Amino acid sequence: DIQMTQSPASLSASLGETVTIQCQASEDIYSGLAWYQQKPGKSPQLLIYGASSLQDGVPSRFSGSGSGTQYSLKISSMQTEDEGVYFCQQGLKYPLTFGSGTKLEIK
Amino acid sequence: EVQLVESGGGLVQPGRSLKLSCAASGFTFSDYNMAWVRQAPKKGLEWVATISYDGSSTYYRDSVKGRFTISRDNAKSTLYLQMDSLRSEDTATYYCARHLRGWFAYWGQGTLVTVSS
């Protein structure tokens, strides 16, 4: 199985700050990576797929990059509504696997 | 608007069975692969099973293989998950999701399954 390791486990950011979350795969996943945001009590929402493609309706302050085994999600200007837990997921091979999540809070 | 509405969750004893349903609307159901993803209380996300658009192919995580069965009725735009021989570690919120290649573009609101005596 492909293991997905996310870092950090949690972080706090000020309004307007740039935030970066990392995700490392245990093998090359050829940009087969997605990022999700989950708010308390809600279902996850797809933000980024194919490592860097923005899902329809997602604000442009979210961006994804990376290749091979190393990927990152960037929020260019932290907003209040960006609080939540962020998960990465590889979509290359079954079993499809998720990172353990990064909890993002406002400082 | 894409809508996925799960139902069928509840409290069940270990070893018993439960069947979840997911009613889809707002898109052509028969065009998309569908999946179940679960989340144990206060834990991360775990893919459970996927079924191809026409039902000809299914995929399962090892821990549910032989116990869970994913199926679909394209005429009714409904996805199912038959869960047999339930264990305490199956306790989770179960989400129905529409695939976008290997990822999940749309999610339902989830249905909670609690396995306990």
Residue of A nearest to B93 (CA): A43
Residues 76-95 in B contacting A (C-alpha not used; CB under 8 Å): 95
Chain A to chain B, count of Cβ pairs less than 8 Å apart? 57
Residues 6+ apart with CB under 8 A from A44: A36, A37, A38, A87, B45, B95, B104, B107
Please tell me what DSSP assigns to residue B55: S
**To the nearest whole angstrom, how far is the Cα of B44 from the nearest Cα of chain A?**
6
DSSP helix/strand/coil, A78: coil
Neighbours of B10 (CB within 10 A): 11
B33 and B47 Cβ atoms separated by less than 8 Å: no
Partners of residue A104 on adjacent β-strands: A11, A84
For residue B115, CA distances in Å to B5, B49, B60, B86 come to: 21, 19, 20, 7
pLDDT digits (tens, 9 = 90+) for B76-114: 999 999 999 999 999 999 999 999 999 999 999 999 999
Across the range A15-24, mean pLDDT stands at 98
* Cβ contacts of A92 on chain B, cutoff 8 Å: 102
The whole-number pLDDT of residue A100 equals 98
Mean pLDDT computed over A29-40: 97
Does B103 sit within 8 Å of A43, measured CB to CB?
no
Backbone angles phi, psi at B50, to 5 degrees: -135, 145
Q: What is the mean pLDDT of residues A3-31?
A: 97
Confidence class of residue A45 from pLDDT cuts 50, 70 and 90?
A: very high
Give the contacts of A36 (CB within 8 A, at least 6 positions apart).
Answer: A44, A45, A46, A47, A86, A87, A88, A89, B45, B104
3-state secondary structure of B115: strand
What pLDDT is stored for residue A24 in this prediction?
98
**CB contact, 8 Å: B33 with chain A?**
no
User: Could you tell me if B42 lies within 8 Å of chain A, comparing CB atoms?
Assistant: no
Q: Do the beta carbons of residue B7 and residue B20 sit within 8 Å?
A: yes
